Structure 1
């Protein structure tokens, strides 16, 4: 069921009370040499586990225990009931899987008693000393797989990402899990990933978990992520609601029967009833869609109230509402960049020939050698936003529609990377970070675009902000072309320019593309940026920049740096400024 409000309340409350208070028979388990460890599951995790629908989508606030409390137990369940099966851990990018999804998933494995290199193996085959039977569809190479032990067998979880379609080629799997699914491209999911969830019906076709999907995410904030609510529509259909109600009722009956087992002399009839109920639950779970919608407060027992007070104090209100309270962002009318769409404007460009040289967890990928989108035939274009409390730089390149590798048929601006540092760091520190990141780029040539805000000073130096940037670049061996553009274009002018470029309705304006991994915070800040009526008419709302308790990379600073580079490469340089007033 989609929210706690639509559950049959008395039954849910009764079952939740039962599940929350269950105590294992530690003496009996000790006699069987089974170690008991205490753990905690929140309400969302318990419902996902108890209902156990074939298909589950959980939209839960930040730090709500999605990966370790929902995905990890589901993987454990899949491996347990489908020995030697194969599944998929799906991510938008391979870097996302390695850096964010897998660490949280492994934490969940450890809570369940798994130990790395004993119970699961990352991107390598299981140790031969365990003599495990490999999956029925075992990969020839372990490079993109995790092997998970179940007794004397092993299941495989394939690592599949949408920026690396070759990772799913030729696969035939039994189950799919995914985290941060609001960033997935729905078309690719339907055309590339879901079709490989097939086969093995003769082995596992009787199980509800077979060919199931379990997806988790926090609240989508842009149009491209709203496909996740399709699961809510499906869940709310009467037959699915009734199936969930019956599953909860049967689970309660099973618990009641199990409570009587230790006190009865003859349990044959009771065991048959339990097996019958479990069989009914399995049938009800087949093809069932379950949708969970909870705020981060579902995990308050783990996080503590201080966490929420801190988040409320330090987050912009719009981000707190979506990321913590799980409120839906209806988007639209008061956005400064209303046409921004991650499905269209994001791209992925990771050089996996470089990334694959390293074992998982052995290093962070924090320099340009991992990037596959830099045009070595031209300089980087650099712009910034400056101040006493926050400084940032934005990097992009413009590509002709005729350029090699540009398959769009249109002129294009690629937004490659953003850098920032809060106070007390100065713009010189941000420039050093830029130089460090591009240390291995042989060309070392930059077009530095700056406006009148860059010729001010921070009061601590005789140099202007622009002078600070240029000084560091020269010292680090960069060739610099300085481009002073004078007064910052007005809010309405930039708004109109972004609108026509993002809508891609006029071929005279270059289309815009953002590197997903490298410009994440800039893109999110643009998606959150709002417009208002100010003293001079239509303006970008920059009120959060004055709130020093809010992390400033979540405000509009990064968007201003991006505006500078965008306007120069898309409007000024190609001399299209005269067209903007005529755009409706």
Structure 2
């Protein structure tokens, strides 16, 4: 067997990456903007641990297994390549390696399907919070998008595994080391990362905390990258994503009862995803580039779906489904792949994603905004939506309600519905990953006091130069499904008055 040697190449690192790599603390946390080079930080850490703690067992943590497969691994693999490490040569993903037996970990995993195994015998087990990680013993760990993790689960299930290797590595500075990288948290739940910032102030010898804007990596980004980001983002988004400026808390929004920690869930079908990481051929990122609804387990394939859209220069599709548990789950929100994408292309992508769905009935909720046209076709938006659905074999139940409900009526409806305690309404829940931009829309929908009550502020919808995924469009589509389908169930005898509407 040919011996594998460590590559020797010249590499370039930005100031943030150098500071992180040279910091002596056991725990290092990076809070950085988009494109700042967080994947390179992970790659550097894996390389160092792989050689400092040979034959060790370590963890790579994500909120979901799907996140690791689709977001963490592709960028980390590219960063490892800049160091000279090749997948299938220096490490394997999702399969038992062919190294010499004495180069296996001291505590070999029982299941190699969720591992990254290095030629030095070091191995990383991919942990996700949608699967229990109890029982594992590790020597060090890395976590990606740390702000998205449930801190209680992380403490109880992941940090508790850091107990292995004392016999072999007790005096090694990398033993029990931890590397956490993250963008700025967008929710209250994600702010647990700031506890490490405080700990770095009180225990600077143990914890290193670094914040960095995207500009620190400008030499490795395209020349016009920052100009393009300014063009497609609002100042609010640019400050967060690029400048790494923490957002101010915004209270009194249009959905004041929305609580992400209570209403949102993860539902990836890890058995299906695991099947794509074939144990013979290993990990191939192209297998995860066009996933369909089989990637999640919350879609009931034999139950009809509900959809609603927002129309105009920016279109989006929100999908929901009521199940036998008296839950209405918002399953996905699909947005354009590129600015100006035609509505028929968007609906076709919806059809492609839900193609495995066995019940071909879809309830299409729409109001008078769907009777408009975009100038590129003589057909209305509603006509186009239904034609594409029917062409793909869907039985469309079109539910037209004329004028859109008043803002104050929708505000009052969701103020009750999102509490999930009304006897006449189902429990409303949201798929955290597949409804990412819908959740952003809900959280970023400000309200003002109008003539008849609260009104949603929609001024950013008119700013064509900003990224419309973060504005109020998807909340508007959600409003149509929720209000049209369920508002009449709230009894008029309650303090809330809602105009009666027929429902199915």
- TM-score between both structures, scaled by the size of structure 1: 0.78
1:155 to 116, 119, 122: 122
Cα distance change, pair 328–580 in 1 and its aligned pair in 2 (3 A): farther
Q: Do the aligned residues in 1 keep the contact of 2:302 with 2:357 (CA within 8 Å)?
A: no
1:120 to 73, 81, 91: 91
Residue 103 of structure 2: aligned partner: 133
Residue 311 of structure 1: aligned partner: 229
Q: Do the aligned residues in 2 keep the contact of 1:398 with 1:569 (CA within 8 Å)?
A: no
Question: Is 1:420 paired with 2:335?
Answer: yes
Q: 1:576 & 1:311 partners in 2: Cα distance?
A: 48
Residue 40 of structure 1: aligned partner: 12
Question: Is 1:224 paired with 2:139?
Answer: no
Residue 304 of structure 2: aligned partner: 379
Q: Report the CA distance between 1:445 and its aligned residue.
A: 0.7
Cα distance change, pair 452–292 in 1 and its aligned pair in 2 (3 A): same
Cα distance change, pair 44–223 in 1 and its aligned pair in 2 (3 A): same
1:349 to 238, 260, 267: 267
Q: Report the CA distance between 1:550 and its aligned residue.
A: 1.9
**1:66-123, Cα deviation, whole Å (9 max, x unpaired):** 121x222122222222111111111111111011101222222222221222211111
Q: Bigger shift: 364-373 or 525-534?
A: 525-534
Residue 66 of structure 1: aligned partner: 38
Question: Is 1:491 paired with 2:407?
Answer: yes
Q: Report the CA distance between 1:532 and its aligned residue.
A: 3.6
Cα distance change, pair 35–375 in 1 and its aligned pair in 2 (3 A): closer
Cα distance change, pair 580–164 in 1 and its aligned pair in 2 (3 A): farther
Q: Do the aligned residues in 2 keep the contact of 1:94 with 1:163 (CA within 8 Å)?
A: yes
Q: Bigger shift: 220-229 or 328-337?
A: 328-337
Residue 317 of structure 2: aligned partner: 393
Q: Report the CA distance between 1:558 and its aligned residue.
A: 1.8
Residue 22 of structure 1: aligned partner: none
**1:161-219, Cα deviation, whole Å (9 max, x unpaired):** 11122xx2421111111111111111211222221222322222333332222111110
1:370 to 269, 272, 295: 295
Q: Report the CA distance between 1:456 and its aligned residue.
A: 2.5
**1:406-452, Cα deviation, whole Å (9 max, x unpaired):** 4xxxx422111122336644333322222222222111111111112
Residue 15 of structure 1: aligned partner: none
Q: 2:487 & 2:170 partners in 1: Cα distance?
A: 58
Q: 1:508 & 1:194 partners in 2: Cα distance?
A: 43
Q: 2:7 & 2:355 partners in 1: Cα distance?
A: 52
Cα distance change, pair 420–192 in 1 and its aligned pair in 2 (3 A): same
1:146 to 90, 94, 116: 116
Residue 446 of structure 1: aligned partner: 362
Q: Bigger shift: 171-180 or 309-318?
A: 309-318
Q: Report the CA distance between 1:379 and its aligned residue.
A: 1.1
Q: Report the CA distance between 1:134 and its aligned residue.
A: 0.5
- Which is richer in helix? 1
Say how many residue pairs are matched.
486
Residue 298 of structure 1: aligned partner: 216
For the pair shown, the structure with the greater C-alpha radius of gyration is: 1
Q: Do the aligned residues in 2 keep the contact of 1:174 with 1:197 (CA within 8 Å)?
A: yes
Q: 2:110 & 2:427 partners in 1: Cα distance?
A: 41
Cα distance change, pair 141–466 in 1 and its aligned pair in 2 (3 A): same
Q: Report the CA distance between 1:320 and its aligned residue.
A: 1.0
SS in 2 for 1:232: helix
Q: Report the CA distance between 1:333 and its aligned residue.
A: 1.7
RMSD over aligned CA atoms reads 2.5
Cα distance change, pair 434–495 in 1 and its aligned pair in 2 (3 A): same
Structure 2 unaligned runs (5+)? 278-282, 499-504
Residue correspondence of structure 1 range 181-580 to structure 2 within 5 A = 181-237=146-202, 240-241=203-204, 243=205, 288-303=206-221, 306-359=224-277, 360=283, 361-364=285-288, 365-387=290-312, 389-399=313-323, 403=324, 406=325, 411-421=326-336, 424-504=340-420, 506=422, 508-533=424-449, 538-572=454-488, 574-576=489-491, 579=494
Cα distance change, pair 472–112 in 1 and its aligned pair in 2 (3 A): closer
Q: Do the aligned residues in 2 keep the contact of 1:500 with 1:509 (CA within 8 Å)?
A: no
Residue 87 of structure 1: aligned partner: 58
Q: Report the CA distance between 1:34 and its aligned residue.
A: 9.0
Cα distance change, pair 158–477 in 1 and its aligned pair in 2 (3 A): same
Q: 2:354 & 2:259 partners in 1: Cα distance?
A: 28
Q: Report the CA distance between 1:565 and its aligned residue.
A: 1.5
Q: 1:448 & 1:155 partners in 2: Cα distance?
A: 52
Structure 1 unaligned runs (5+)? 1-32, 244-287
Q: Do the aligned residues in 2 keep the contact of 1:55 with 1:290 (CA within 8 Å)?
A: yes
